[in-house]
Structure 1
Amino acid sequence: MASNSPRRPRPSAPKSARGPVARAALTVLKIGIGVGLLMTLLLAVAVAISMASLPGYRELMRSPNGQMVQVRSADGAVLVSVGPSYGEWLAYDEIPQVMVDAMIAVEDRRFYHHPGVDPIGTARALVVNIQRGGSAQGGSTITQQLARNIFLTAAQNYTRKIREAILALALEQRFTKREILELYLNRVYFGGGAYGIDAAARKFYGHGANQLSLEEAAVIAGLVKAPSRYAPSSDPEKAKGRAKIVIAVMADAGRITRSEAAAADIDALRFAPQPKQNNVRYFTDWVLSELESLTDETIEPLVVTTTLMSGMQQAADRGIVAHTPAGAQGALVAMSTDGAVRAMVGGKDYVSSIYNRATSSRRPGGSAFKLFVYLAALEDGVEPDDVMIDEPVSFGNWSPRNNDRTYRGEMTVRQAFASSVNTIAVQLAQRVGYDTVADMARRFGITTKIDRQPAMALGTSDVNLLEMTSAYASVARGGVEARPYAITKVTTSRGRTLYTHEAEEPRMLVAPWVAAKMTDLLKAVVDSGTGRRAAIGREVAGKTGTTSSNRDGWFLGFTGDIAAGVWMGRDDNKVVGGLAGGRAPTAAWADFMRVATKGMPSQALQTDVELPEDGFGEPDAEVYGIYPPGSEPPVDENGVPIGDPSVVTDADTPNLGPSQPRPQGQPPAQPRLDGDFLDQILAEPQPKGSGGGSPPSDPM
């Protein structure tokens, strides 16, 4: 009999407890764990291999550190030998506890709590660097620093960081914390050539490291961050300022009490006097900074041969010391017309100030900057014998004045330049365009920001002595770039050559006839103008410069062989009574050049370059855009080849269209090589700048 009771539904199959997302997440987790275990295994193997290959402790104590570099002049004299100095090796128990505490506080606060690599410190440094957009904070532990100092280079790349971490882990497994600290404090570099705390203490304080006070230890601990910047031998005040930070960090870390920190008197600290340094160190410091880009050799001792001539360097030093006014500083750069730097003085006394005013200082150029105004004008078609009018002129709300407050009326361009007439310089700058003048300065190697207001013609822009000297040398070279260089060869002490200077393909900056006419103007400055004190018994061309209220004095000039520039002024930009470009700077320049050119045959300066009858000569074809035989030159809208010297294209010629044949007997028009044309040829972008400034009054 059939039952009428309802049939119970068949239970459905149980659904999976995990959806596709959960399954994917689990798969990723498993893969991550597997990769993590594999990486841990590989790291353990790498650390074990590194441990097995580590030298013994005694060997690490004896291994050398640092690199010796010897810098020589072109005539073979040793200018400076830079290298490591070492003190006594101090066992851990001989190291003052205050030195250990200072170093741990400032370099690795969690030193006793990590295995060689500090994940917390690394993460903190990473966050800070991301927030500040750079490498504001480092995450290396003391052990990592020791590994880098002993086994690796300072190259900034991920491979080196990974090797550093592996070696740090191996060092921690092989040696105790006390041994690592002992190695570190006896091996780390503290600036001034000193390796280890004992060498640093003897160099900076005149006694061994076992006698270090809290203040002295704070200075030494603060040097590790940037030895060359904070070393007392370089800048005592920066060293003290850094030490005050170290004292505060020690108190914050609990290494000293707040009362001990308050009682520390860093300002009363006295440093040991440093050996007298010759002023050639301005040059060798510059050379050593350039050396880093020429070779990556960091172990073998190096011999660096330079372009400097010992006799010229001594003459430059004497000239600056003898003529720089009291309370002011002076600088001199001299170079051959190919750019080889023969002498460099960055200040009156290297010991009292290591700041190199020849390579680093930026000061208004005064009338020395007029070089670029007149180069642009000559290129635009102005002739040295053209007549202009020295008269009151206004440019908006500004009216340039001559230094003597007088106006002379009609005069030639040559006379205006020789007497450094301000009104005519500004008129010329307006004629060619202020951007054109700025572009001319860029073309000649001026990299500083250039004012593009009317007063720029009088030298309101800051310029650099090395770059300005190079610009004048380029004029002396006939308009061909004279790029400064100082290193001719780098070898190891065993004779292996690492670098040899090779002359670059010369760049023509202006046409030879422009350079010749510029030389004519510069020669007039010395013959009859503001630079008469530069006369040395042979042909000389040059230009004086003086800024407002006699704050800066310049003289830049050249003979057929050597170009040199002199700047004088105060570092604080205060007025120097009686300073003018035509006085002390020119006198120092002349004293130097008499020695520098002694024994050299007198060369006539090139002041007149005639264009060939058929236009441009073959050597300059590629510069001026003239195409060699067999190639197809571009044509204008009338089908006439561009650059054909038989065609008149000068818009100033009356009654002639742009494509009509040149009348019989009429010379070819001189090319107008404006900034845009040469920039296109030279394929170098010209940076733009803006700015203003009050005009300097400069007859010198």
Structure 2
Amino acid sequence: MASDASAPPSRLKRGIITSLKVLLYSTLIFIVAVAVAVVVAMNSLPNYDELVRRNDLGQTIRVHAADGSVLVAMGPSFGEWLSYDEIPQIMKDAIVSVEDKRYRSHVGVDPIGFARAVQVRATKGRWTQGGSTITQQLARNIFLSNSRTFARKGREAILALALERKFSKNQILELYLNRVYFGGGAFGIDAASRKFFGHSAKTLNLSEAAIVAGLVKAPSNYAPTADAEAGKARAAIVIKLMQQNGVITADQAASAEPAAVQIVPTPKQNSVRYFTDWVLPQLDTLISVNNQPIEVWTTLDPNMQKLADQVINANAPPGSQGALVALDRDGAVRAMVGGKDYVNSIYNRATQANRQPGSSFKLFVYLAALEAGYKPDQMVSADPITINGWSPRNNGHAVSGMITMRQAFAQSINTVSARLGQEVGFRTVADMAQRLGITSKIVTHPSMTLGSSEVRLIDMTRAYAAVGAKGVAVVPYGIKRVTTPKGELLYQQPPLDNRALFTPWIAAEMTDLMQTAVLTGTGRAAQIGRPVAGKTGTTTLNKDGWFLGFSSGLTTGIWMGRDDNKVVPGLQGGTAPARAFHDFMIKAVANRPVENFDVQVKAPDWQEPDQEAWGQLPDNGQAAEPQGQLVDPDGNPLPPDQRPARPPREDAAPPPDDEDAGYQSMLDRATGRGGPPPPPPPRRRPRPLPPPDAMEPRAFAPQP
């Protein structure tokens, strides 16, 4: 009976011993595995000099203006690398106190801190407390991501142990203080000190060191560039911890005044950022993606940009916004303003906003009419007209009877524009707009002849520039070349395509009309004492005001209005926008030669008056985008099997592989760029108006 009584304790004892053995063996295996992993990691670590030279903290981009000056530097900023002895002791004490008070005693991993972090993770289900030592943070910053997982924490611990075995505590602290991110794009204490205090980190005092040390926890929240008061409040906590750790005395803590530290103000982001925000995303399509520093050389003229910013702020009515784009004759963007103040609104109204253009859209109506055979001196009817229940009115003009096209354009007579649109076909007008670079959708309702479809300022400026370029396409661009800091060329703007959109004589006739609009019409406020051609645009209830025009090879487009599309009292294209155009252009072209417009270009004898060979579309309604590729009415490229066949002439050479090249060849011959001209095409009647149920039943009114 006695032996039976002692059996259960014996089995319990054996179970405990077995469990302890398993635990011991598992611990030994774990220790051996960790040791092996640490040795492997230690052997794979770069040497100290290589870690000092590493440049894997992100890409630095410097954007240059046309004159070579730096517009903006983006990406991480690095200060001077400070050796351990050059770093102020107060800075070393501050960072150790707030980030890792047992730094000098642990082996790379702090078991106490790690256990506390794991407990919080298990309790709350997420990492709310790091528990990482300075060595672990350095390992993460150099070699790992910021993902908060147990696997990453394990790799971080192995690397930290390896770093402690390979480098001294002083070396690790030197690496850490020169590489850690302090917010505001600053990496390392010297970059942070220069950015926030305006001097080297070698002269940091207690208050400044406390501010810098407090940033590591949450740079985006505590950086003085983000929230100066929060950063200074955090510094007070750092000073308290330093006193508790015994690295400063109570008197030193009491005398420190982080709240009194002067923070260097961040330079105001001016309108240049509208331009850089537009060009920098284009780099993804121009160069291969890598982290090497690059120099981006742009077309922006700093003087024109400053002037553009001034005229928009000076002329835009109170409560409204304004935008400006200035293009050189080759499409180079010389100035771009997307709003009154980039800091308050980064929304670029020059490239992103879609607004109704009002009468400035009549450019496409009159171009289509000129291609159909109308002439500037031709008489047209200004009488009232009703098209499918829609009756446009002439704002402020009691004009009726027969007037010349030149007078109708100069005075912006709405009934004439509507009648011309009906004659040539509303689809033809829309096709003309798309051909000249309008990328937004155009609804072919009769009111589109008065600018009811929304457009972008940069697209409209491009279209007007094509007239100034005598019918040649103008494609806006902002990047001339991209290089490495050593000058290695990564990208170069290709040569101009010089693709013809319409004939030089059509451009000359259109320039004639636009010049008259400035001399005697609605754009008189845009006169600058030298030849100017342009057009005003005003939408219903004065919600949008436009002026677009060119002189001496520079085309400038200006828009003004409210972001909420509310009425702006007194805003018309011929008032504030035209005055802003005048104020900008009179200085922007002051050093350029005066260029008289050649408005006497004549069509060759073989060219019929209707000029259908120039850009007229096939009867299926297909259109061509600015580069000459056929597109459907919505602007989508047509597949080859849906493109209309072009029967070859008997004396023509075999068709080229690219059928679009053949179409361009015809345009080139007609403009005198090579080859004999094609025979005159047969006359064609204007397309009949679509039935009422095919049109959108809405009157001309701004869209909400």
Match of 1:220 in 2: 220
Match of 1:175, SS? helix
| Segment drifting more, 207-216 vs 318-327 | 207-216
Q: Give the fraction of aligned pairs with identical amino acids, expressed as a percent.
A: 49
8 A contact 2:552–2:593 mirrored in 1: no
8 A contact 1:546–1:696 mirrored in 2: no
Match of 1:695 in 2: 700
8 A contact 2:483–2:489 mirrored in 1: yes
TM-score of the pair, normalised by structure 1: 0.63
Match of 2:322 in 1: 330
Match of 2:45 in 1: 54
**In the TM superposition, what are the counterparts of 1:228-627 in structure 2 within 5 Å?**
274-296=266-288, 298-404=290-396, 406-613=398-605
Give the distance between the partners of 2:195 and 2:504, measured in 1 at CA. Answer: 55
TM-score of the pair, normalised by structure 2: 0.62
Structure 1 gaps of 5+ residues are 1-44, 98-109, 114-119, 122-142, 155-160, 224-230, 237-270, 635-642, 653-671, 674-688
Give the distance between the partners of 2:550 and 2:504, measured in 1 at CA. Answer: 17
Match of 1:175 in 2: 160
Give the distance between the partners of 1:695 and 1:598, measured in 2 at CA. Answer: 39
Q: What is the CA-CA distance between 1:321 and the residue it aligns to? A: 2.2
| 1:99-135 deviations in Å (ceiling 9; x for gaps) | xxxxxxxxxxx9978xxxxxx99xxxxxxxxxxxxxx
Q: Which amino acid aligns with 1:631?
A: A
Give the distance between the partners of 1:522 and 1:220, measured in 2 at CA. Answer: 52
| 1:254-307 deviations in Å (ceiling 9; x for gaps) | xxxxxxxxxxxxxxxxx9964223322322332323233322364333222211
Give the distance between the partners of 2:497 and 2:590, measured in 1 at CA. Answer: 30
Structure 1 649/536 Cα, relative in aligned 2: closer, same or farther at 3 Å? Answer: same
8 A contact 2:139–2:159 mirrored in 1: no
Match of 1:695, SS? coil
| Segment drifting more, 87-96 vs 290-299 | 87-96
Q: Which amino acid aligns with 2:421?
A: A
8 A contact 1:47–1:167 mirrored in 2: no
Match of 1:55, SS? coil
Structure 1 651/425 Cα, relative in aligned 2: closer, same or farther at 3 Å? Answer: closer
**In the TM superposition, what are the counterparts of 1:71-150 in structure 2 within 5 Å?**
71-85=63-77, 91=95, 94-95=98-99, 150=142
8 A contact 1:615–1:645 mirrored in 2: no
| 1:21-60 deviations in Å (ceiling 9; x for gaps) | xxxxxxxxxxxxxxxxxxxxxxxx9999777433379975
| 1:400-424 deviations in Å (ceiling 9; x for gaps) | 1111263422111211111111111
| 1:361-392 deviations in Å (ceiling 9; x for gaps) | 22111111111121122222222222222222
8 A contact 1:488–1:500 mirrored in 2: yes
Pick from 653, 669, 674: which aligns with 1:631? 653
8 A contact 2:39–2:162 mirrored in 1: no
8 A contact 1:95–1:209 mirrored in 2: no
Match of 1:136 in 2: none
Q: What is the CA-CA distance between 1:93 and the residue it aligns to? A: 5.5
Q: Which amino acid aligns with 2:404?
A: T
Q: Which amino acid aligns with 1:418?
A: A
8 A contact 1:95–1:210 mirrored in 2: no
Structure 1 471/603 Cα, relative in aligned 2: closer, same or farther at 3 Å? Answer: same
8 A contact 1:434–1:453 mirrored in 2: yes
Give the distance between the partners of 1:167 and 1:628, measured in 2 at CA. Answer: 74
Q: Which amino acid aligns with 2:68?
A: G
8 A contact 2:358–2:539 mirrored in 1: yes
8 A contact 2:41–2:158 mirrored in 1: no
8 A contact 2:37–2:158 mirrored in 1: no
Structure 2 gaps of 5+ residues are 1-35, 80-90, 102-114, 119-124, 127-134, 165-171, 199-206, 229-262, 616-626, 629-645, 657-675, 688-693
Give the distance between the partners of 1:46 and 1:96, measured in 2 at CA. Answer: 24
Structure 1 358/112 Cα, relative in aligned 2: closer, same or farther at 3 Å? Answer: same
| 1:495-544 deviations in Å (ceiling 9; x for gaps) | 11111111242222222222222111111111111001111121111010
Q: What is the CA-CA distance between 1:470 and the residue it aligns to? A: 0.9
Match of 1:420, SS? coil
Give the distance between the partners of 2:697 and 2:221, measured in 1 at CA. Answer: 45
Give the distance between the partners of 1:690 and 1:53, measured in 2 at CA. Answer: 72
Q: What is the CA-CA distance between 1:315 and the residue it aligns to? A: 2.2
8 A contact 1:48–1:170 mirrored in 2: no
Q: What is the CA-CA distance between 1:583 and the residue it aligns to? A: 0.8
Structure 1 72/435 Cα, relative in aligned 2: closer, same or farther at 3 Å? Answer: same
8 A contact 1:68–1:82 mirrored in 2: yes
Give the distance between the partners of 2:681 and 2:564, measured in 1 at CA. Answer: 55
Q: CA RMSD in A?
A: 5.2
Structure 1 196/387 Cα, relative in aligned 2: closer, same or farther at 3 Å? Answer: farther
| Segment drifting more, 576-585 vs 407-416 | 407-416
8 A contact 2:186–2:195 mirrored in 1: yes
8 A contact 1:147–1:167 mirrored in 2: no
Match of 2:381, SS? strand
Q: What is the CA-CA distance between 1:342 and the residue it aligns to? A: 1.1
| 1:340-375 deviations in Å (ceiling 9; x for gaps) | 111112222223323222222221111111111211
Structure 1 644/333 Cα, relative in aligned 2: closer, same or farther at 3 Å? Answer: closer
Q: What is the CA-CA distance between 1:615 and the residue it aligns to? A: 5.3
Q: What is the CA-CA distance between 1:598 and the residue it aligns to? A: 1.2
8 A contact 2:397–2:413 mirrored in 1: no
Give the distance between the partners of 1:444 and 1:595, measured in 2 at CA. Answer: 28
Structure 1 380/613 Cα, relative in aligned 2: closer, same or farther at 3 Å? Answer: closer
Match of 1:613, SS? coil
Structure 1 507/285 Cα, relative in aligned 2: closer, same or farther at 3 Å? Answer: same
Q: Which amino acid aligns with 2:220?
A: I
Q: Which amino acid aligns with 2:517?
A: V
| 1:193-245 deviations in Å (ceiling 9; x for gaps) | 3458998999899997967999997893799xxxxxxx969xx9xxxxxxxxx
Give the distance between the partners of 2:419 and 2:491, measured in 1 at CA. Answer: 48
Give the distance between the partners of 1:290 and 1:401, measured in 2 at CA. Answer: 43
Match of 1:505, SS? coil
| 1:48-103 deviations in Å (ceiling 9; x for gaps) | 97774333799758744233322222222222223424698985762499xxxxxx
Match of 2:285, SS? coil
Structure 1 629/575 Cα, relative in aligned 2: closer, same or farther at 3 Å? Answer: same
Structure 1 536/693 Cα, relative in aligned 2: closer, same or farther at 3 Å? Answer: farther
Match of 1:292, SS? helix
Q: What is the CA-CA distance between 1:567 and the residue it aligns to? A: 0.9
Structure 1 272/70 Cα, relative in aligned 2: closer, same or farther at 3 Å? Answer: closer
Give the distance between the partners of 1:543 and 1:174, measured in 2 at CA. Answer: 68
